[in-house]
Amino acid sequence: MTTVDPVASFYQRFPYPPRDPAAAPDTLAWILPANLPTVAHHVFAGALPRGRPLRFLVAGGGTGDAVLALGGWLRRLGLDGSIDYVDLSRASCAIARRRAEAAGLDNVSFRIGPLEALANGPAGQYDYIDFCGVLNHVPDPARALAALAHVIAPGGGIGVMAYGSLGRTGVYEAQAALRMLGVDGARPDGPALARSFAAGLPTSNWLLRNPSFERIAEADDAELSDVLLNPRDRAFTTDILDDLMTGAGLAIRSFIPPFLYDPVPALRDPALKAAATGLDRRGRWRLAELLQGNFSKHVFYAVKPAPGATGVAAGAGDDDPAERLLADPATVLFPIAIDLPAVAAALAARPAERRSLQVTVDRRSVTIGIRLSDLDLAILAALDGPTRIGAVTARVAVGKSAPGEVAAALGPLQRKLTRLGLLHLMAG
């Protein structure tokens, strides 16, 4: 007797994320984890595999956001590659297929079925797997990750978005209450009842007190149902995610953006800062999660170490593995979703003591800033899109600083911006 996975039935009714396949194609260039410059930096130390077409898998591809993002990046960067898509939901797949066709992507293949079946196929098929919002809903996370690890080529990796436990405070209590009331996603009136439930919650309820979900009653049916009526939904701490990855033979390279997972700046007392500094990176991730308290999603990259790999090549350590590219003038500095010359111009107009780049985590969090020198601003002004290091050095050095001074300033500036998720390195 064949049993239909309730999650497959759920997404058959509520394809996710809700997308209109008739709408004009969106490049979705900067979505995570499918942002290819970010993938290149954190998975491949800045250097994508060369000499053959790239091989990508979108596991649990839903309505196709990651397909459009990765396909758009291959086209934008002039790279050969193919994308395989697998999902349980025929309705979601149909939308993804229509969107890919509308975008003119002819390098995508679509498949319906459980991703766990990949464990029965050839090993090492893919350079990169995009696995966004799926670990939360699979029957067995360890089994799913083992299947994905099986098809990752040694030296390749995976980009993951998984729900965060603390940041979803109130969600699981609301789900439990709705189950007690007999409300689920299979009922025709399920979304209407869930909306009425959310709209009528007392102000003391944790779901309403959670800024990520305080307006869930106003969401469309697919979004509201995905949060409150999903038949299989779980969240993770950084420790559990690290254990799952290690169990699958994968090593977390970095959570994104890295500065959010560093607890040291969030602590004021020197003794507490010293104690946090003494933790290993796993301990710092967990402490940052506990201090912030609002990570409703974790985005991270993990690698499948090549045989004999050690140190950062195996995913261990705190060093940025792409930093070695700074010595090569052909290396491309890739700004991520930010107009750095405009930022530089705005900061240059301020008094020197106020020339700090401010990044706000969310509307209730403390703003984090990094102080920028005149030379830093000159470098930012030269980064009008993806720019080779040699070109940046030449532009800034004219009448301002010697090339050696520019090179000396570039490293620390790159580290700061990369930690903020604003700049990545790609081999030229």
Q: Give a yes or no: residue 85 inside a domain.
A: yes
φ, ψ (nearest 5 deg) of residue 352? -55, -40
Q: How far apart, in whole angstroms, are the C-alpha atoms of residue 62 and residue 132? A: 9
Reference 215, options 204, 205, 207; nearest CA is 207
Q: What are phi and psi of 18, to 5 degrees?
A: -65, 120
Looking at the fold, whether 186 and 151 belong to one and the same domain comes out as no
* Residues 93, 15 within the same domain: yes
Cα–Cα distance measured from residue 381 to residue 339, given in angstroms and rounded to the nearest whole number: 9
Please check whether residues 343 and 399 belong to one and the same domain: yes
Residue 204 has pLDDT above 70, yes or no: yes
DSSP characters for 268-300? Answer: -SHHHHHHHHTS-HHHHHHHHHHHH---SEEEE
Residue 309 DSSP symbol? -
Q: Is the pLDDT of residue 377 over 70?
A: yes
What value does the mean pLDDT take over residues 415-426? Answer: 94
Whether 23 and 43 map to the same domain: the answer is: yes
Q: Alpha-carbon distance 314 to 308, whole Å? A: 9
Q: If you write DSSP's letter for every residue of 357-368 in order, what string do you get? A: EEEESSTTSPEE
Which burial class, exposed, middle or buried, applies to 301 when counting CB atoms under 10 A from its CB (0-12, 13-18, 19+)? buried
Across the range 218-226, mean pLDDT stands at 97
Of 228, 260, 279, which residue constitutes the final position of a domain? 228
In a domain, 396, yes or no: yes
With H, G, I as helix, E, B as strand and everything else as coil, classify residue 158: strand
Return phi, psi of residue 111, to 5°.
-140, 140
Q: Cα 4–168–233 angle (5° rounding)?
A: 10
**pLDDT value at residue 367:** 59
Sign of CA dihedral 265, 250, 314, 32: negative
Beta-bridged to residue 83, according to DSSP, are: 56, 108
Higher pLDDT, 3 or 123: 123
Phi, psi of 206 (to 5 degrees): -65, -30
Residues 183 and 141 in one domain: no
Say if residue 78 is in the same domain as residue 152.
yes
Domain boundary among 256, 286, 314: 314
- Residue 199's CB is within 10 A of a number of other CB atoms, namely 11
DSSP-based helix, strand, coil % in the chain, nearest 5 = 45, 15, 40
How many domains is the chain built from?
3
H/E stretch holding 256: strand 251-256
Domain range for 354? 322-426
pLDDT of 161 above 60: yes
Q: What pLDDT shows up at residue 361?
A: 59
Q: How many CB atoms lie within 10 A of CB 211?
A: 14
Asked whether residue 282 carries a pLDDT value surpassing 60, the answer given is yes
Whole-model pTM over 0.85? yes
Sign of CA dihedral 123, 126, 128, 130: negative
Place 362 in a pLDDT band, splitting at 50, 70 and 90: low
Q: Are residues 172 and 150 in the same domain?
A: no
314, 337, 372: which is the final residue of a domain?
A: 314
Report whether pLDDT(375) > 80.
yes
CA distance 274 to 287: 13
Domain containing 53 — which CATH number?
3.40.50.150
The residue whose two tokens read 């020339």 is 355
**What pLDDT is recorded for position 79?**
97
* Together in a domain, 136 and 244: yes
Of all residues in the chain, what percent carry a pLDDT higher than 90? 83
Domain membership of residue 286 (yes or no) is: yes
Q: Is the pLDDT of residue 7 over 90?
A: yes
In whole angstroms, what is the distance from residue 94 CA to residue 100 CA?
A: 10
The DSSP secondary-structure symbol of 164 reads: B
Quickly list DSSP for 85-108: EEES-HHHHHHHHHHHHHTT--SE
Q: DSSP H helical segments within 189-279, as ranges?
A: 190-199, 206-209, 221-228, 238-247, 270-277
Per-residue confidence (pLDDT) for residue 339, from 0 to 100: 94
Average pLDDT, the chain: 93
Judgement on whether residues 81 and 129 belong to the same structural domain of the protein: yes
What digits encode the pLDDT tens for the residues 100-119? Answer: 999 999 999 999 999 999 99
Q: Copy the structure tokens of residue 361.
A: 């985590």
Pair 326, 302 in one domain: no
| Residue 381 located in a structural domain | yes
Contacts of 349 (CB under 8 A, 6+ apart): none
Q: Which residue has the tokens 């710092």?
A: 284
- Evaluate if residue 312 carries a pLDDT over 70: no
The answer on pLDDT for 309 being more than 80 is: no
State the chain's maximal CA–CA distance in angstroms: 77
| Amino acid, res. 190 | G
Q: Can you give the pLDDT at residue 359?
A: 73
Q: Can you say how many angstroms the Cα of residue 35 is from the centroid of all Cα atoms in its chain?
A: 8
**CA nearest to 419, candidates 235, 264, 315:** 264
Instruction: Let me know how many helices (H) and strands (E) the chain has, helices first.
Output: 16, 12
Q: Are residues 153 and 173 in the same domain?
A: no
| 149 token code pair | 């690890």
* pLDDT confidence band for 265 (50 / 70 / 90): confident
Mean pLDDT, residues 132-147 taken together? 98
pLDDT band for position 365 (cuts 50, 70, 90):
low
Is residue 210 pLDDT above 90, yes or no? yes
3-state secondary structure of 145: helix
Asked if residue 78 belongs to a domain, the reply is yes
Confidence at residue 370, expressed as pLDDT on a 0 to 100 scale: 83
1 is a domain residue? no
DSSP state for residue 17 in the 8-state scheme: S
Q: How far apart are the first and last CA of the chain?
A: 55
DSSP annotation of 251 reads: E
d(CA 92, CA 85): 11
Work out the pLDDT band at 26, boundaries 50, 70, 90.
confident
* Same domain flag for 152 and 34: yes
